[in-house]
Amino acid sequence: MAADHQKNSPPDYSAPDPDFEARGRASFAKQTMMATLGAEILTVRPGHVEIAMPFGAHILQQHGFVHAAALTAIVDTACGFAAMSMMPKGAGVLTTEFKMNLMSPGKGERFVAVGRVVKPGRQLMVTLGECFAEEAGKRKLITLMTATMMVMNTPGIVD
């Protein structure tokens, strides 16, 4: 999955709104779903956001692994905030679609979602999201997401 082209010309995004990090963290704090999952933001860079979530007994599926939807929650949010970091001041973000490939079960002590902007469009942004399971000091890629984020410019609809 190493992107050769990226090695030659890595995305060097700059955020249109200098307050992008504070804005992203404030928006995250409003998501009660994140608190329910015990998730926290690790990193906010232009076009790149990382979110961590501990294993929790209250978010499991029938085999005792973390539910795919809990992993979806942090990856979608990481992708959404990565997109928001590339939007002008005042714009809100809305996920229009995502697709998750679940490659290995949600087994681990902690899960780290990494969301990146692949295409920062004016109306739509395409993002790539990965989720890693951490266990005994090791990291394993367990899910892969692509998602489309919409730029919402209507005040009042979003914040």
Give which of 155, 149, 70 is closest to 115, Cα–Cα.
Answer: 149
Alpha carbon distances (Å) from 52 to 27, 60, 64, 130: 16, 16, 19, 12
The minimum distance between CB 52 and its own copies, in angstroms, equals 14
The minimum distance between CB 139 and its own copies, in angstroms, equals 6
CB nearer to its own copies: pick between 16 and 98: 98
Q: Can you tell me which of 14, 62, 136, 137 binds its own copies, judged by CB under 8 A?
A: 62
CB nearer to its own copies: pick between 15 and 131: 131
Q: Which residues of 115-147 are buried (b: 16+ CB within 10 A; e: fewer)?
A: bbbbebeeeebbbbbbbbbbeeeeeeebbbbeb
Helices (H), 42-128: 68-84
Q: Alpha-carbon distance 92 to 19, whole Å?
A: 14
Identify the H or E element spanning 44: strand 40-45
Tokens of 12: 């060097």
Q: Can you tell me which of 17, 20, 21, 28 binds its own copies, judged by CB under 8 A?
A: 28
Q: Does 154 bind its own copies (CB under 8 A)?
A: no
Q: Which of residues 76-105 bind its own copies (CB under 8 A)?
A: 76-77, 92, 94-104
Q: Which residues bind its own copies (CB under 8 A)?
A: 1-7, 10-11, 27-28, 30-33, 35-36, 57-63, 67-70, 72-73, 76-77, 92, 94-104, 114, 116, 118-119, 121, 123-124, 126, 128, 130, 132, 139, 141, 144, 146, 148, 150, 157-159
